[in-house]
Structure 1
């Protein structure tokens, strides 16, 4: 099983060089000033007055307006909800992460509170993901702000490959249960295994989340990192899988993949992220699309606290807008379409009685044959025959040279009787023969 965070690239946002594909790359900085206003030429040009520039971070977050998030904020900003980020850890330092209310490490190499970034390569990944979901910003109108800026965060740190001393499947299973037990309303998983199937231990872990009414959001994976089709955990029935689109709303070539399990699509290119050291970066991947949808799920749960997880997911997929050129809804490229936070929060949507993304419990029943229930016992009372009589006591042992009752009755006595009878018959016959001879002899002598 090949593990991968669903990140394909990261570049610096404010002129800071970072490693990209093994070499340093410098991105163009975010705009720090507003563009100049053109004026008609004059003999003596007058000075031009322009408005104060907007905060560059807020200005770069195009998804806030394009996907109805600012409109949804008129109803709620996610207060009263908790998003668990199961990733490489949410850093302690940046003020944007003031919403973290708890954490734990499951990699065996992080800190006990789950706030130490895990891994040499992907250490910032968990912080980037968390900043898109629920960053607080650095002020009222400054700094990067998340989709649900008033939601709480849980940091469950996990590691990949050599970055962990605990098997990956075990880390995820334990982190899922911990997140549920610590009050998560939404769980975000921005990684893929690049395989359709999953370890059997995940059956119980994900089922535990669904049975406790938790919405699970999963990234679809990126073609740029070698993911040609969706892989677990995005293939697990019941999760909401998120594909990625570019700024124009078209399926991302490098930062998304496709598959029949995709639920909705969200931005995965030109995204912002707050690093562990507080630096702001631009990055891409469905790792970023997923927490945008996780934030929207938190907005829905905050606005509609009476809804269960199945209906939260249903509102998100039913209010999504089909992408330009999308021919089938749902489809393997966009799912139900581009997510719309304002509609998900405010639209009228009919309730459902089951998770529209499938039932893991039913899948287990059909596919885990070894776990099939035992054959039911018959309900008819079986016939029980009466007990047999007690066996006769065994005879006392005696010498084989002495006669027994059986040998006397059935052997010796009959044999003796028969012998006596035979002797008596023989004696009678002999006596009769003698009389006959005697009579004949007398007759002869008389003559």
Structure 2
């Protein structure tokens, strides 16, 4: 059974005060170009993961038709030539974007479009057809082809990584985004966002439980060491979430564009990636933000092929067909192994009623017993894992002297150094409990995902969506 980091109530309260959601991507650009009008397709040639991860073979079975995938990110440019007709709805959870979620917002407004094109890009320019009397495309269209090119996208915009003009915090945006996605028909949710702590605010519990009850697959990024994420951070630590680690071009765990942790489910390419930019351009980038839509796209392929297959079975099919890597069996770098999309769509996988990555319902039952119950009732039919996930007790920060309000008992009552020390420790514990109820964002870790401007390629310009 997959063991997910599960903070003790005290550790959870301690870390909740430090929660600050950041973009998980290492979007360090090797190149940033606008797309010329008609030219040989060099972009498709860069999508090595389509063949290496077995995706082109998986297309023989499914291309994701009929499946809605919600992308909780910075918003999507639905006018990108490679996303023509892909985005069918959206919502703004940030309070700073457009109601339809199609305005790119936040510290990295391009991030959502990069993710969307990798997941469900459709390419552009008409495909080359064979001669009559039985014409059929012999060359695929130019531009980026996503993992699930026939899936439908829902754009849920959030403002993360810098101060939100509307004042809405990540503690409000993330659960609101998840609930909207579930209520609007998403069968898969892609969250290429992460944090620097494995704990998550209690305000997230009910939303992720709601998604679990509604049979939705949530796929999240493990984070990147180069961005300050040495360990997997929430929401990728939430039980039941399919967490994605990153690989380099050698199919080895990426040193910079990944992290590690026992919640990792599967690994996928994270370096030398290619995605679309708002306005019609493209960028080479890296990070588990790009690995995540690869895996979420495979989940969409599976849900299209088997519409009645449960989320538990979808996740189990992905992890059980992964190619083992690293230490034998499951390990903190690769999870269950390296993604194999062809096997995930073609292999004979026994049915299961248990999510190998755990269940948030059981985690809440075990770890929130002393707190108020979540707004959404716990499901009664879902089986519980054989053992509740646990996390070693966190190291408590060094106690600081309490404020005058928090130390009302104070020095006037307590005499002597030893007694005063005890009072300080007690007051610090009270302060931590208060912080858990009303967590305040910590100072952001420096993030390396900012794209550096690169001069436009001579003679190129954005031409808009092509016909066909």
TM above 0.5: yes
- The 5 A counterparts of 1:240-259 are 240-259=242-261
2: CA distance between counterparts of 1:345 and 1:2? 37
2: CA distance between counterparts of 1:369 and 1:76? 43
2: CA distance between counterparts of 1:180 and 1:134? 19
Q: 1:198·1:232 contact (CA, 8 Å) conserved in 2?
A: yes
Q: 1:268·1:288 contact (CA, 8 Å) conserved in 2?
A: yes
1:143 corresponds to 2:159 = no
Q: 1:365·1:372 contact (CA, 8 Å) conserved in 2?
A: no
Structure 2 equivalent of residue 117 of structure 1: 104
Q: 1:196·1:231 contact (CA, 8 Å) conserved in 2?
A: yes
Structure 2 equivalent of residue 340 of structure 1: 340
Runs of 4+ in 1 over 4 A off after TM superposition: none
2: CA distance between counterparts of 1:215 and 1:134? 16
* Per-residue deviation, 1:4: 1.6
Structure 1 equivalent of residue 331 of structure 2: 331
Structure 2 equivalent of residue 352 of structure 1: 352
Structure 1 equivalent of residue 433 of structure 2: none
Q: Which runs of 5+ in 2 are unaligned?
A: 1-18, 128-140, 374-468
- The 5 A counterparts of 1:286-325 are 286-323=288-325
Q: 1:265·1:338 contact (CA, 8 Å) conserved in 2?
A: yes
1:76 corresponds to 2:62 = yes
1:126 corresponds to 2:112 = yes
TM-aligned CA distance change 1:359 to 1:164, over 3 Å? farther
- The 5 A counterparts of 1:67-106 are 67-97=53-83, 98-106=85-93
1: CA distance between counterparts of 2:247 and 2:155? 27
Structure 2 equivalent of residue 152 of structure 1: 152
Match of 2:344, SS state, is: helix
* Per-residue deviation, 1:159: 0.2
Higher relative contact order (CA 8 A, sep 6+): 2
Q: 1:88·1:123 contact (CA, 8 Å) conserved in 2?
A: yes
What number of residue pairs does the alignment pair up?
Answer: 338
1: CA distance between counterparts of 2:33 and 2:314? 40
After superposition, the C-alpha distances for 1:283-333 in whole angstroms (9 at most, x for unaligned) are 00000000100000000111111210000000000000123xx12321000
After superposition, the C-alpha distances for 1:114-170 in whole angstroms (9 at most, x for unaligned) are 000002x30000000111110111133210110000000000000013135211111
Q: State the TM-score, normalizing by the size of structure 1.
A: 0.73
Match of 1:171, SS state, is: helix
Q: 2:189·2:218 contact (CA, 8 Å) conserved in 1?
A: yes
**How large is the Cα RMSD of the aligned pairs?**
2.0
* Per-residue deviation, 1:198: 0.7
Structure 2 equivalent of residue 393 of structure 1: none
Q: Which structure has the bigger radius of gyration?
A: 1
1:210 corresponds to 2:197 = no
1:9 aligned to which of 7, 14, 27: 27
Structure 1 equivalent of residue 137 of structure 2: none
1: CA distance between counterparts of 2:108 and 2:91? 18
Match of 2:29, SS state, is: strand
1: CA distance between counterparts of 2:225 and 2:70? 26
* Per-residue deviation, 1:14: 5.8
After superposition, the C-alpha distances for 1:47-77 in whole angstroms (9 at most, x for unaligned) are xxxxxx9621111100000011000111110
Q: Which runs of 5+ in 1 are unaligned?
A: 17-28, 31-52, 374-447
Q: 2:20·2:170 contact (CA, 8 Å) conserved in 1?
A: no
Match of 1:84, SS state, is: strand
> Normalized per residue, which structure has more helix?
1
- The 5 A counterparts of 1:424-443 are none
* Per-residue deviation, 1:282: 0.2
Once the two structures are overlaid, the 10-residue window that deviates more, 156-165 or 256-265, is: 156-165
TM-aligned CA distance change 1:15 to 1:211, over 3 Å? closer
Structure 2 equivalent of residue 107 of structure 1: 94
